[in-house]
Structure 1
């Protein structure tokens, strides 16, 4: 069995799509629109087959979790870059472009080389080597 996709609600569908295309090589399909409930979405696919669904619809409440603290539920997802050098490079690019780095590149106790960045909506992304 494989993970098929993860979905994220957003207030700015185009901004979030652009972020994942620019920094993580996501390839977006056609924008979907359900006119009955004014729901919009994109599926982005990534190397290896996993997909990310970005969704927008009026009336979805703001997330009340503090993005800088840990909490129960889905806390992050990870993109593999292939090497520690690629982790450093992408982390530095995101930092220079104004994104918040909440975990500097480091080796973890379980053998990952990783950093953690917030996407434009405050979702945590691990960047692993």
Structure 2
């Protein structure tokens, strides 16, 4: 069996607020829009958003009304200049969870949260 990661869908409370965050603050181009479902072009993996309400109507999944307070995953974005990204998102009032820090393996890593509290790692490429 050969599996490959194609997309990640985040369930959000307010699609317009999340679209603004990912498109205008992080600078991700929109790849496709279908009602409340939006895809962003992030390279080889698509990042998609859909409202919690819409997902509950279309799938058998149990989706909580609001984001859970405990996160169990993070989304990672790679950039050549972590500090510049953190400076830009800070200017937009984005929650900074962890300031840029060089890890023992040489990678610079910082953490932020999107409007629904999803954890996002902003990191330099692995060398």
Relative to the length of structure 2, the TM-score reads: 0.78
> Paired residue for 2:67, among 59, 63, 67?
63
- What is the root-mean-square deviation in Å for CA atoms of aligned residues? 1.9
> Paired residue for 1:111, among 101, 106, 114?
106
CA shift, 1:102, in A, is 0.5
Counterparts of 2:27 and 2:10, CA distance in 1? 17
**Contact 2:67 2:116 (8 Å CA) reproduced:** no
**Contact 1:8 1:54 (8 Å CA) reproduced:** yes
CA offset digits 1:44-98 (Å, max 9, x no partner): 111x3211110014365112224xxxx5x3x21110112xxx1001101111211
Q: Which runs of 5+ in 1 are unaligned?
A: 34-39
Counterparts of 1:95 and 1:32, CA distance in 2? 30
SS across alignment from 1:31: strand
Dislocated runs of 4+, deviation >4 Å: none
2:44 aligns with: 49
Counterparts of 2:46 and 2:103, CA distance in 1? 26
Does residue 95 of the first structure (1) align with residue 90 of the second (2)? yes
1:12 aligns with: 14
**Contact 1:23 1:90 (8 Å CA) reproduced:** no
Aligned length: 113
